[in-house]
């Protein structure tokens, strides 16, 4: 802190010194700082700027790891308290205390604990004044009394979670922004919270509850008698040079008005003046020295010197940095921390720049073979393999035999169409003993002793010349790695990389390569993964040269590697760059590291430290400052001292060496495969080890797919790593020099997992480039072909080409991933396919726009008014059947909320509403022997309300809630149910048919049969009877259709059909016939199972054949699939007026053989998977795949004669914390509906209507309430179950209003203009009285109140408000008169005294 800053703070504290002593028994003076702002969180510097409260840190980002350091800094400057404004909206995103955002709760708990730990008391602010959006949509603003109760619930939640930590509280900090009814209600809310606090914490000393407002508005508190509900008053003041005197007067006035109430100057903004001028104003100081002043805001007095300390500002005596999170890591993490999973996983359909370099790679030892041919020397890996230290005693003696297959390999590269090929040169193949000998006499270094004279191996040079010439001839750019781990054994015998003389020897080798190949090679890398060389080779001893010295040697080796790299770079720079024009770099390896808990600062620091110890170990000296990362120097230095070393085990660079090393790379080359999770640990001091020096542990990211390499999961952290490199190293040009995934040898050419990997990782690189501004210049897919994979030998493969290692000729076969990578390179990324681009246009006039629900999912009232039990009533009341033990007893209470449901339907602008009728509500025992008229009346009222709102009903007869009475006699297994269903349908047609013109007999019979009677996961929980249940479902549908057709169609004129559901399916490998066949089986066993009999006359032939053959093969006398008689086929075929269709997602199919398993899964013989890049939802089975919607609609057209299609369900779920800004659902509807438009316009599908599932969040069957599909959120913690619109509801309504997608190129469309907001003035009609005068007629239920037309409720509220104001006014007049009398008495006393003095 500057001298002036110290002086100013000292002056102010001195002013208070005596006062603090005088008032020690009353209260402790508060020196207040804060709040923390998002600007500070992002930049880790600066004090809150003007208006900082608008940018207050709200725990939507992680706490910056340097925050504790900042708090300690403030505490050392005399600060006693720190403002912590909580975020109502973030803590309770749904408004419900039962559904908090736990990460935000934990964040604030951590923040408050940090403050207390460093000696700062938190001043906790519950809220400002702005109403959170979740309540604004329900109640409006503070003018609503209901908001008082909501604030009370929120405050109760806050006291429960944080009450033990904080003693000082501000309920509402921006009271001056409110007026009239809003103000009255906030004061009532504050009062109730004040009382509750003192009930919960009755014996607390100090602190208390306050309210915040500007000094000019203090009269509000006095006039409303709120003072007695304040422990202290929080006042905001502003000072500038011109109005200082006025402020002093205001301060004196406020103190008089507030009598003895302590005053905290909560905000003190000093404008256009220095803090010195403020403290020089004696009037201000006199005012502030009043005994009633509790404390004041110090922010503007602390000044710029109190910025959060820079990360490079604190060193110990040895100039080693203290451990803290680097700014680049914190910035990178913060940028991604607030992303939703949808935003994170959304696939980017764009392209790379035209000059982007696409490559694949190989490494000399892994592919060449010819280990002792043509004069090649032995390498440390040759020796390692021959000592049987590799998996299954395998060696690379032959490997892929690339030494003899140059033309073959170049041919493969030509076919792949890469523009770059990265390979390494075998040092021992050029110089068998490792050294380049220019003269006959031996060099004088320790690496060239007697007996180790060596000369150039020309055959090795010729091999690389042939390879390079072959590449250049076909315009493939060679990218050459000079050292990829295969050190000549002769050099290892002399100490290898532990020997400092290796620096010169390596430079000689590289110098030769530059001179020999540099006219054609323009990309050089000195080392590949020096971290692996130093740690795995010389620390762990896992790979050659098997040195196990983990405490010192890895650091020594790394030191030599870095200096060797720098020397080689300077050799190229000095001797070859001008003539050859190439680039030189080093390939560093890095996992992305994420913290175990983002809300724990030391875990974030640990994640950053993991990166610094791995990537930073080599990148910092080369790309940043010529030296090791500060975090690394700090850790190793301290550990070394604790272990008794006189100096750090980490070597030091001289200043000359730092200058020599810094900047020795022309591009940043990084190898990346996976992501790890880091957490802080206090590691062992013995034995000394690089591993323990880090003080952290690393684990796998457990939710991601495993690969054939242990601890190398396919986790998409590449984008974050690239962003970190950008921030840490000044946005260099980056080449991804290794990236790929291993598969087991059982997988030959059908490597679907590798395709998913490449698709995910390359798109992450694309996002980094196009969205984040990272300079990604090239991508290398690892690797060209399967090869010798180091310790794993040949048991895993990374190749785009499969190599048959059982064949001595080593034939190469392109894998499916090779075809995929070729296509990516051809497209230069992932440009949006034409069939996924938005089609602008409209649906036909009269298109049906609908949303949907189902009786059991929304109605509730499960035992009300004579309703019978359904199978779902019983299933949900059976333990372990439904998630969270949820049930539909109340559900959304739609049985009692017809008006509310119709109201939200009107908001959606739908033309239709699809709902189902509860069979047991109408026929309690399932038969028409007793009709429940009360139950029927509910649906009568619902239909009347819909029609009154011009919304047409679409009625489903059966949506899974079968009466228990019928299930007792077998349910859908018993053929008598066909007649029962016909009788039930007859009742509904006769009672409702005059108003219902769109009937659905059964909803998703596939789910009823397969999940209810096959897997047993849905009611009624029967297993293995799906084929019988399906048979009866189909016949029941046909009978209901014929009943309507024969008896009601002529008079009622409606439509009737069935709703069938199906996913779209594609072969996992479209080039593999087995997968194509599996996809066909999947469709026929899904959609065809029910659609074929109704639209074509019988079950699909494929289904009949498979089940019959498998049944007979198992020794059964007949097929397990029932057969329709010829008469039944005739009666069932054609029982449709349209094709009702539910669709949600798509899958990928592949064959599975379940042996003699006699069930649906065994018959279908199809497994499914999903593309990992498909965006997830709240349901494990549902991924966002809009392309499949169009395809399956086209399939229905082609397969079933282009029937009229009504989409009767389509939607997406979420789970977890509620977010009304449901971006993923908006994205889903926009894209799926647009695909439906394409099916109609481009494919000729006769699409007549679309239904969004669902109207509101409801009971989602076995998932209970954990999965939410609704356009409206239902607040289940509120007994009234309000329906709250999500953002997707607005978007769906706009699509309906526009009847499609207007072309933005034609300008703003009328349908997109927002409707004018409704006013509070009701519409009035007029009539002419007998005198011929026009007079206004109030709408129904309106009253005249003082000349205003109000509803009875509003008039009543107005009356109360007028009464309150009248009462306040009377009390105010009484108070003013009383104060005048008191003032008169005070003036009279001095006058009397004066007269007495004169007389004396």
* Close Cβ partners of 774 (under 8 Å, ≥ 6 residues apart): 722, 723, 725, 726, 731, 734, 768
Three-state DSSP class for residue 493: coil
CB half-sphere exposure, 120, CA atoms < 13 A? 31
Per annotation, catalytic residue among 363, 727, 859, 1209: 1209
Cα–Cα distance for residue pair 559/621, rounded to 1 Å: 10
CB half-sphere exposure, 440, CA atoms < 13 A? 0
Cα–Cα distance for residue pair 480/423, rounded to 1 Å: 5
Cβ atoms of 796 and 790 closer than 8 Å: no
Cβ atoms of 162 and 208 closer than 8 Å: no
Cα–Cα distance for residue pair 983/1395, rounded to 1 Å: 109
Peptide bond into 1020 cis (omega under 30): yes
Reported for 883-886, long-range contacts at CB under 8 A and 24+ positions apart, including other chains, are 883/1262, 883/1263, 883/1264, 883/1266, 884/1264, 884/1265, 884/1266, 885/1264, 886/1259, 886/1264, 886/1265, 886/1266
Beta 212-214 vs 233-240: how paired, if at all? parallel
Cβ atoms of 1102 and 1080 closer than 8 Å: yes
Exposed (0-12), middle (13-18) or buried (19+): which is 1115, by Cβ within 10 Å?
Answer: exposed
Q: Give the pair of three-digit tokens for residue 540.
A: 């762990």
Cβ atoms of 349 and 836 closer than 8 Å: yes
Dihedral pair phi/psi, residue 36, rounded to 5°: -70, 140
DSSP 613: I
Q: Tokens 């028994």 label which residue?
A: 25
Cβ atoms of 1041 and 1135 closer than 8 Å: yes
Cβ atoms of 932 and 866 closer than 8 Å: yes
CB atoms within 10 A of CB 1007: 18
Within 417-484, residue ranges assigned H as helices are 427-430, 458-473
Cβ atoms of 850 and 909 closer than 8 Å: no
Exposed (0-12), middle (13-18) or buried (19+): which is 153, by Cβ within 10 Å?
Answer: middle
1004 catalytically annotated: yes
Sign of the CA dihedral with 1119 first, then 1123, 1126, and 1130 last: negative
Cα–Cα distance for residue pair 1087/390, rounded to 1 Å: 52
Per annotation, catalytic residue among 1004, 1039, 1199, 1267: 1004
Cα–Cα distance for residue pair 261/263, rounded to 1 Å: 6
Nearest to 975 by CA among 915, 1028, 1050: 1028
Cβ atoms of 736 and 778 closer than 8 Å: yes
* Close Cβ partners of 70 (under 8 Å, ≥ 6 residues apart): 40, 308, 309
Cβ atoms of 681 and 695 closer than 8 Å: yes
What is the rounded radius of gyration, in angstroms, for the C-alpha atoms of the chain? 39
For the chain, the maximum distance between any two Cα atoms, rounded to a whole number of angstroms, is 135
1356 catalytically annotated: no
Nearest to 1202 by CA among 1143, 1135, 1248: 1248
Catalytic residue set: 1004, 1209
């Amino acid at each position: 802190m500057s001298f002036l800053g110290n002086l100013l703070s000292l002056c102010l504290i001195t002013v208070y010194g005596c006062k603090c002593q005088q008032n020690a028994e009353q209260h402790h003076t508060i020196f207040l700082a804060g709040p923390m702002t998002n600007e500070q969180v992002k930049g880790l510097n600066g004090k809150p700027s003007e208006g900082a409260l608008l940018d207050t840190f709200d725990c939507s980002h992680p706490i910056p790891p340097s925050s504790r350091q900042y708090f300690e800094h403030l505490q050392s400057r005399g600060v006693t308290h720190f403002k912590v404004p909580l975020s109502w909206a973030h803590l309770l995103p749904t408004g419900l205390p039962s559904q908090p955002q736990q990460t935000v709760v934990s964040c604030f708990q951590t923040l408050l604990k940090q403050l207390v730990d460093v000696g700062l008391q938190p001043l906790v602010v519950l809220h400002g004044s702005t109403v959170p959006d979740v309540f604004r949509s329900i109640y409006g603003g503070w003018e609503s009394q209901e908001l008082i109760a909501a604030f009370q619930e929120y405050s109760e939640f806050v006291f429960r979670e944080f009450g033990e930590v904080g003693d000082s509280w501000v309920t509402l900090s921006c009271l001056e922004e409110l007026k009239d009814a809003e103000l009255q209600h906030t004061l009532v809310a504050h009062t109730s919270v004040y009382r509750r606090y003192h009930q919960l914490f009755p014996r607390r000393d100090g602190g208390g509850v306050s309210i915040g407002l500007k000094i000019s508005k203090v009269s509000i508190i006095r006039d409303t008698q709120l003072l007695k509900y304040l422990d202290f008053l929080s006042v905001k003041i502003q000072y500038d040079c011109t109005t200082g005197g006025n402020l002093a007067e205001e301060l004196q006035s406020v103190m008089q008005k507030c009598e003895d109430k302590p005053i905290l100057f909560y905000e003190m903004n000093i404008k256009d003046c220095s803090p010195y001028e403020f403290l020089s104003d004696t009037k201000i100081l006199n005012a502030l020295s009043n005994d009633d002043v509790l404390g004041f805001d110090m922010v503007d007095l602390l000044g710029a010197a109190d910025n959060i300390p820079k990360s490079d500002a604190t060193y110990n005596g040895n100039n080693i940095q203290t451990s803290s999170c680097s700014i680049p890591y914190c910035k990178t993490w913060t940028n991604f921390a607030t992303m939703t999973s949808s935003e994170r996983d959304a696939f980017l359909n764009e392209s790379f720049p035209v000059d982007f370099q696409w490559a694949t790679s190989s490494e000399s030892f892994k592919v060449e073979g010819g280990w002792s041919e043509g004069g090649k020397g032995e390498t440390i890996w040759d020796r390692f393999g021959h000592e049987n230290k590799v998996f299954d005693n395998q060696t690379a003696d032959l490997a892929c035999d690339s030494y003899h297959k140059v033309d073959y390999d170049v041919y493969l590269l030509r076919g792949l169409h890469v523009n770059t090929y990265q390979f390494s040169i075998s040092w021992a193949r050029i110089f068998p003993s490792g050294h380049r000998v220019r003269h006959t006499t031996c060099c004088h270094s320790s690496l060239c002793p007697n007996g180790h004279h060596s000369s150039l191996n020309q055959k090795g040079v010729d091999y690389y010349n042939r390879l390079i010439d072959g590449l250049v001839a076909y315009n493939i750019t060679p990218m050459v790695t000079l050292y990829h781990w295969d050190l000549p054994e002769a050099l290892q015998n002399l100490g290898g990389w532990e020997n400092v003389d290796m620096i010169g020897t390596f430079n000689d080798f590289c110098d030769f390569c530059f001179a020999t190949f540099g006219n054609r090679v323009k990309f050089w890398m000195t080392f590949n993964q020096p971290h692996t060389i130093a740690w795995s080779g010389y620390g762990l001893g896992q790979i050659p040269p098997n040195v196990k010295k983990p405490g010192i040697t890895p650091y020594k080796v790394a030191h030599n590697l870095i200096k060797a790299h720098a020397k080689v770079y300077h050799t190229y720079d000095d001797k070859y760059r001008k003539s050859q024009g190439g680039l030189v770099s080093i390939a560093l390896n890095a996992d992305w590291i994420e913290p175990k808990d983002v809300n724990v600062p030391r875990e974030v620091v640990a994640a950053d430290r993991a990166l610094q110890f791995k990537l930073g170990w080599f990148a910092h000296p080369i790309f940043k400052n010529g030296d090791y990362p500060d975090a690394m120097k700090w850790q190793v230095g301290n550990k070394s001292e604790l272990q008794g070393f006189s100096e750090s085990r980490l070597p030091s660079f001289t200043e000359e060496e730092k200058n020599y090393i810094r900047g020795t790379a022309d591009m940043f080359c990084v190898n990346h495969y996976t992501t790890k999770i880091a957490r802080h640990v206090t590691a062992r001091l013995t034995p000394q080890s690089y591993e323990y020096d880090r003080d952290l542990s690393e684990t796998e990211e457990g939710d991601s797919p495993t690969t054939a390499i242990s601890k190398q999961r396919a986790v998409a952290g590449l984008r974050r790593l690239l962003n970190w490199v950008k921030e840490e190293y000044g946005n260099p040009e980056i080449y991804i020099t290794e990236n790929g995934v291993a598969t087991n040898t059982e997988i030959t050419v059908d490597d679907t997992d590798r395709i998913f990997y490449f698709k995910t990782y390359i798109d992450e690189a694309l996002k980094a480039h196009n969205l984040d501004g990272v300079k990604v210049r090239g991508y290398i897919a690892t690797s060209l072909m399967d090869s010798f994979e180091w310790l794993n030998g040949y048991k895993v493969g990374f190749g785009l080409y499969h190599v048959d290692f059982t064949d001595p000729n080593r034939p190469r076969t392109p894998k499916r991933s090779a075809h995929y990578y070729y296509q990516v390179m051809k497209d230069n990324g992932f440009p949006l396919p034409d069939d996924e681009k938005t089609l602008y246009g409209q649906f036909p006039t009269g298109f049906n726009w609908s949303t949907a629900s189902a009786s059991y999912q929304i109605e509730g009232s499960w035992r009300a008014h004579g309703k019978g039990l359904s199978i779902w009533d019983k299933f949900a009341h059976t333990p372990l059947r439904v998630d969270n033990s949820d049930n539909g007893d109340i559900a959304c209470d739609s049985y009692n909320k017809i008006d509310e449901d119709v109201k939200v339907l009107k908001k959606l602008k739908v033309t239709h509403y699809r709902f189902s009728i509860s069979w047991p509500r109408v026929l309690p025992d399932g038969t028409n022997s007793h009709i429940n008229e009360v139950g029927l009346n509910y649906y009568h009222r619902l239909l009347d309300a819909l029609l009154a709102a011009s919304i047409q009903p679409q009625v489903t007869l059966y949506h899974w809630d079968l009466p228990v009475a019928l299930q007792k006699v077998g349910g859908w297994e018993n053929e008598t149910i066909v007649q029962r269903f016909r009788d039930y349908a007859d009742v509904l047609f006769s009672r409702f048919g005059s108003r219902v013109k769109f009937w659905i007999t059964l909803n998703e019979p596939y789910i009823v049969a397969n999940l209810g009677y096959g897997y047993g996961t849905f009611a009624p929980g029967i297993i293995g009877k799906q084929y019988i249940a399906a048979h009866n479902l189909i016949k029941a549908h046909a009978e209901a259709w014929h009943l309507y057709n024969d008896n009601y169609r002529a008079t009622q004129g409606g439509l009737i059909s069935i709703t069938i559901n199906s996913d779209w399916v594609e072969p996992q490998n479209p080039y593999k016939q087995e997968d194509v066949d599996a996809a066909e089986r999947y469709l026929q066993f899904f959609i065809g199972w029910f659609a074929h009999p109704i639209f074509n006359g019988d079950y699909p032939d494929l289904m009949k054949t498979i089940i019959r053959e498998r049944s007979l093969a198992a020794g059964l006398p007949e097929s397990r699939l029932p057969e329709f008689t010829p008469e039944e086929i005739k009666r069932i075929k054609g029982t449709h007026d349209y094709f009702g269709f539910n669709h949600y997602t798509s899958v990928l199919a592949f064959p599975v053989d379940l042996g003699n398993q006699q069930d649906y899964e065994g018959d279908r013989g199809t497994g499914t998977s999903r593309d990992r890049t498909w965006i997830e939802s709240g349901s494990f089975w549902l991924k966002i795949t809009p392309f499949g919607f169009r395809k399956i609609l086209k399939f229905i057209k082609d397969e079933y004669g282009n029937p009229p299609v009504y989409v009767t369900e389509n939607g997406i779920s979420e789970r977890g914390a509620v977010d009304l800004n449901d971006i993923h659902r908006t994205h889903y509807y926009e894209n799926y509906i647009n695909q439906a438009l394409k099916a109609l316009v481009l494919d000729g599908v006769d699409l007549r209507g679309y239904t969004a599932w669902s109207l509101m969040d409801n009971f989602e069957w076995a998932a209970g309430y954990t999965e939410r599909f609704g356009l409206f959120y239902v607040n289940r913690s509120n007994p009234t179950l309000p329906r709250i619109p999500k953002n997707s509801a607005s978007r769906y309504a706009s699509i309906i209003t526009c009847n499609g997608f207007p072309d933005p190129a034609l300008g703003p469309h009328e349908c997109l203009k927002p409707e004018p907001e409704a006013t509070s003035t009701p519409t009035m009609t007029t009539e002419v009285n007998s005198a011929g005068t026009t007079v206004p007629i109030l709408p129904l239920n309106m009253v005249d109140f003082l000349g205003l037309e109000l509803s009875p409720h509003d008039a009543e509220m107005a009356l109360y408000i007028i009464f309150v104001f009248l009462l306040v006014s009377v009390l105010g007049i009484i108070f003013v008169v009383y104060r005048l009398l008191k003032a008169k008495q005070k003036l009279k006393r001095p006058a009397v005294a004066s007269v007495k003095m004169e007389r004396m």
